[in-house]
Amino acid sequence: MHRLTGKTGEDSLIEMSPTDSFSDDVNGYHHHASSSTGSPEQGRSEIDKQKYSKDSVFFRDGVRRIDFVLSYIDDKDDQRKQERRRVYESNLQKVGLELETEDKTESEDGKTYFVKIHAPWEVLATYADVLKIKVPFKVNDIPDNSEIPMNWLSTPFRLPGHIMNPEPDYFTAPFNKSKSDFFLIEDKETFFPPSTRNRIVYYILARCPYFKDECGDRDKKGIKRLLNNGTYTAAFPLHDSRYWTKSKDPNCESERFSLYKYWAKFFCFFKEQPLNLVRKYYGEKIGIYFAWLGFYTEMLFFAAVVGTICFVYGFLTYDDNEWSKEICSEEIGGNIVMCPLCDQKCTYWRLNITCNSSWQSHLFDNVATVFFAIFMGIWVTLFLEFWKRRQARLEYEWDLVDFEEEQQQLQLRPEYETKCTNRKLNRITQEMEPYLPITSKCARICLSGATVLLWISLIIACIIGVIAYRLAVYASFASIMKNNTATNLDVVAPYVTPQLATSVTASCINFVIIMILNLLYERVAIKITDMEIPKTHVEYENKLTVKMFLFQFVNYYSSCFYVAFFKGKFVGYPGNYTYMFGSSKLRNEEVLDISTLYRIILVFEFRPEFLLFSISFLPRPVGTQCEPGGCLIELTTQLVIVMTGKQVWGNIQEALVPWLMNWWGSRKARSHPESLYSRWEQDYDLQGFGQLGLFYEYLEMVIQFGFITLFVASFPLAPLLALINNIIEVRVDAWKLTTQFRRPVAAKAHSIGAWEEILGGMAVLSVVTNAFIVAFTSDMIPRLVYMYAYRTHDELNMKGYINNSLSVFNISQFSLEERPEEYPSWFNSSITTCRYRDYRYPPDDKKRYEHNMQFWHILAAKLAFIIIMEHVVFMVKFFVAWMIPDVPSDVRARVKRERYLVQEYLHNYEVEKLKIQLSQNSNNECTCTPMIYPSLSKHEVLSECL
């Protein structure tokens, strides 16, 4: 029998040699140990089965393909599970599926049964008609005239043609079983690829009931419920081979091996992705994810280049940093006495101790910061618009045009069909379909929204609680360590400071809280999404995506928003500090730098291994307010640690955890020869990809997208770090999907779903956040105002800026509760004032300690900058979006031609059919291929035939 493998003639398959054949006992095929139903060629089973090892994707006869596998452990004491399996499998056979069971004596553990499922042509054709699966009817005759200039430069990055394009390019149309001879069917056994076959079979499994006809319990249906109640232990389609070698069965495509060889290996990181092969093997949903991830990585290259140039500019202008020179100068910074940073426990300090951080700040806080913030606002628009074009091209090439309508009409969730007992007429299809009353729907949505708000409030409350803890216990730690200098604490005192002790304990508390909440986030989101009873799988995933993203958004970005927009803004001034919770003595952000707390918390939240690294790496905070060098360096430090720590550990965890679990699970079977370690057992030992497998991959990338867009003005190298991570991420995801997970059920998706709307929202928000970061977090605007309006010399430079930006306070006006308990050795009675970062009148002025005019000028300049930057960037964004059409012109032409050809060919087909019937003088008997269920509703094919 000829099988289409999708490979060219130059790619030969490994044939089994005569020495590879095994007897019945070696292969483990004992007649008493297994059963087969519906075998089409029972006579040749005795002869042919010896040619096939158990590492095969076919039944024992070597003809029928295994489209799905169910596994279970028979519990003799649980009669209910046995009865469910018996009824369920009987109903599957009534639908037309063919089953073959491997006895537990044939399994490696001696207790697991495997039920192999095959869908014959009649079942596949019927449900392909139901699901309107598009199949080829004509070879694409539109010439591809697109030529890339200097195409030879991309030769090192290309893959072989049979890998990039495993199938010819066809015009396609929805399958119609009554017109099967209209389509290009060379071989019925290979007409539907394995991914389509397992998708159809899963559609049946998800809707097949496990109740008897007389019971009538409509809620008892679907493989998902049977997996949840333990009737079956697993349900999965098979990989077509081992990933490191081709299958010995010449009829197996061995596409998994090709994917591993050309896609999943890390040393292929510079090669293009074989997206068509990924789509053919895993389905469109997984294919569209890797297409998006690859496109996102390509676009990051341009952002990384510009960001690196901006960083290099900051480095090259390092010596021109006049304000840092003044801070580090002994004559200026060394003679400026700064006010204490907390009550009683803190003392006076000199400005020049912030010398290093002011130099570091210039690397990121310079003129290029403004340019890069504007550039990223435009870049994110180009990224989204070009992705829409790329997505439109994939929609056409992968037969996903008009898929959304089919998805809504034809692929209702089984849970929706089960729970919605009311039915109404669909105006489009003119068929009765289940629906959820509007009152019930509104009540469920309101309850879901209230639950989401409650959990978000819980996250914020936990964050505030940890901040309050840290502010409260610092003084206690300082007092304990101060009063125990004669004890063993003096040994560790240089290393375990009050700040470190507070940070570690607060981080431990926050770590425990976050881990507990993380365990509940997913369950709560799934529960409330299930409660809403979404209509389709796409709607279900979109609702779940929004909820989980809201949780993670608050979790990951709250600290960044705090450092960028709140830290140091509400401290007050000496003699009139602002305290937390009003009358309490917890001064806002006293001695401890809250940004340091957040940096440690977030890194420790991800993994404790990075806690000590983050503590040792962070520059020592100098106080409550931002340093004279600016606040931007603190936000920069946080992004560096969070992004690098999260990404490095995430990749290690993604690759290592599944590998260790699979290594442990298959430890006994590793010594077995291929002929004894069956294909279904090999896949059974792998990890299940899960319903939310892609969800977490998207979430990881979208969170990263937020870091490089929302706060990129503070760290121009963020796109470079993201680029390096994503180059690794593509191959890690490909490797684990190909080698460590069972083959997922193929699913269709015409886009990245709700993530596209989330990315669009973050793109708009990023313009606002970066404008505010440049205006309020960076010192760019105060420096420009000083240089052009308040400088005290004729030259256009920054000399005198530091002295101008620090206000004066009379230390005699400190109350007893605010005065330091100790004084530094250099402090003497001649020092009567201290300085603090603000723009206020001096103590000898009649408006003392009120904001001066320079403060209001700077504030006006900041607001003007925000308005101008936002309007400029938004105008450019809208213009670019208008200039770039969402669908390329050649794709639009191809779609129109395909629709035209479908109508023309169908018309000619019907005319030819009519001519044949008239010429044969038929007696009104239909000559079309009969349908199995000609009178059944599309959604009731399964249930009615039972």
In a domain, residue 21? The reply is no
DSSP 47-61: HHGGG--SS-SB-TT
Domain housing 503: 437-484+493-532+572-623
Give the bridge partners for 580, in sequence order: 586
Q: What is the pLDDT of residue 566?
A: 72
pLDDT (0 to 100) of residue 123: 94
Residue 89 lies in a domain: yes
Least confident piece of the model among 141-150, 183-192, 230-239, 521-530: 141-150
Residue with the bigger pLDDT between 281 and 628: it is 281
| E strand segments, 313-355 | 337-338, 349-350
| Gap between the Cα atoms of 432 and 421, Å rounded | 12
d(CA 96, CA 67): 13
In the structure, what pLDDT confidence band is assigned to residue 698 with cuts at 50, 70 and 90?
very high
379, 466: one domain? no
Contact 837, 858 (CB under 8 A): no
Would you state the pLDDT for residue 126? 93
Torsion angle of the four alpha carbons 612, 618, 619, 622, in this order, in degrees rounded to the nearest 10: -90
What mean pLDDT do residues 713-741 have? Answer: 91
Which one, of 271, 274, 298, 299, lies nearest residue 287 by Cα? 274
- pLDDT of amino acid 355: 83
Mind listing the pLDDT tens digit for each residue in 536-554?
777 888 888 888 888 888 8
Residue 555 lies in a domain: no
Per the structure block, which two tokens stand in for 542? 């979109």
Q: Is residue 712's pLDDT more than 50?
A: yes
Sequence-distant (6+) residues with CB within 8 A of 114 are 69, 70, 71, 101, 102, 107, 678, 680, 681, 684
Q: Which of 585, 600, 623 is the last residue of a domain?
A: 623
**724 occurs within a structural domain:** yes
What burial letters (b/e) apply to 875-901, b meaning 16+ CB within 10 Å? Answer: eebeeeeeeeeebbeebeebbeebeeb
| pLDDT higher than 70, residue 615 | no
Rounded to whole angstroms, the Cα distance separating 517 from 511 reads 10
- Tell me: pLDDT of 24 over 70: no
Please give the pLDDT value at position 638.
66
- Between the two ends of the chain, the Cα-to-Cα distance in Å is 33
Residue 439 has pLDDT above 70, yes or no: yes
Residue 505 has a pLDDT of 67
Reply yes or no on whether the pLDDT at 201 is more than 50: yes
Please indicate, yes or no, whether residues 267 and 279 belong to a single structural domain of this protein: no
Q: Are 840 and 852 in contact (CB under 8 A)?
A: yes
Those residues with Cβ within 8 angstroms of residue 321's Cβ, 6 or more apart along the chain or in another chain = 358, 359, 362
C-alpha 536/C-alpha 409 separation (Å) is 9
Alpha-carbon distance 900 to 175, whole Å?
Answer: 17
**Average pLDDT of the residues in 175-190:** 87
Same domain, 369 and 442: no
Instruction: Show Cβ contacts of residue 158 under 8 Å, excluding neighbours closer than 6 positions.
Output: 164, 271, 272
Q: Is residue 149 located within the same domain as residue 267? A: yes
Among 26-35, 112-121, 246-255, whose mean pLDDT is lowest? 26-35
Looking at residue 452, its amino acid is V
Q: Is residue 10 part of a domain?
A: no
Number of Cβ within 10 Å of residue 173's Cβ equals 23
Q: What is the pLDDT of residue 301?
A: 95
Question: Count of domains in the chain?
Answer: 3
Q: What is the pLDDT of residue 669?
A: 59
The pLDDT assigned to 78 comes to: 80
DSSP for 602-663, please give it: HHHHH-THHHHHHHHHSPPP--SSPBTTBSHHHHHHHHHHHHHHHHHHHHHHHHHHHHHHHH
Cα atoms in the 13 Å half-sphere on the side-chain side of 833:
12
| H helical segments located in 398-437 | 403-410, 414-419
Maximum distance among all alpha carbons in the chain? 122
Q: What would the mean pLDDT of 756-773 be, rounded to a whole number? A: 90
851 and 883 in a single domain? The answer is: yes
Q: What is the pLDDT of residue 909?
A: 83
Please tell me the pTM assigned to this model.
Answer: 0.81
Mean pLDDT of 483-494: 49
Average pLDDT estimate for 377-399: 92
Of 544-558, 718-732, 924-938, the one with minimum mean pLDDT is 924-938
Looking at 863, 887, 911, which one is the last position of a domain? 887
pLDDT of residue 217: 57
Q: For residue 817, what are the CA distances in angstroms to 307, 340, 832, 843?
A: 48, 12, 18, 20
Between 145 and 15, the higher pLDDT residue: 145
Q: Please report whether residue 824 resides in a domain.
A: yes
Nearest to 436 by CA among 455, 418, 460: 418
Shared domain for 260 and 397, answered yes or no, is: no
Which stretch of 113-122, 204-213, 587-596, 871-880 has the lowest confidence by average pLDDT? 587-596
Can you tell me the mean pLDDT for 592-610? 35
Structural tokens at position 837: 């970062």
Task: Give the pLDDT band (50/70/90) at residue 170.
Answer: confident
Give CA angle at 138 (133, 140), nearest 5°.
105
What element of type H or E holds 833?
Answer: strand 833-837
Residue 916 lies in a domain: no
741 DSSP 8-state letter:
B
Do 769 and 835 lie in one domain? The reply is: yes
Shared domain check, 508 and 458: yes
Lowest mean pLDDT among 27-31, 571-575, 793-797, 881-885: 27-31
**pLDDT score at 631:** 61
Buried b (16+ CB within 10 A) or exposed e, 674-705: bbbbbbbbbbbbbbebeebbbbebbbbbbbbb
Same domain, yes or no, for 794 and 837?
Answer: yes
pLDDT in tens, 803-814: 888 999 999 888
Band of residue 931 on the pLDDT scale cut at 50, 70, 90: very low
Mean pLDDT calculated for residue range 62-76: 90
Segment holding 665, helix H or strand E = helix 632-665
User: Which pLDDT score, from 0 to 100, does residue 9 have?
Assistant: 34
- 446 and 413 share one domain: no
For the stretch 274-303, pLDDT in tens is 999 999 999 999 999 999 999 999 999 999
Q: Whole-angstrom Cα distance, residue 199 to residue 748?
A: 9
- Confidence band of 501 (pLDDT split at 50, 70, 90): low
pLDDT given for residue 467 in this prediction: 66
Q: How much is the average pLDDT of 883-889?
A: 88
Residue 237 lies in a domain: yes
Same domain? For 104 and 76 the reply is: yes
Query: Could you tell me if 781 and 862 lie in one domain?
Result: yes
Q: Which one of 591, 623, 655 terminates a domain?
A: 623
Q: Mean pLDDT over residues 808-829, rounded?
A: 87
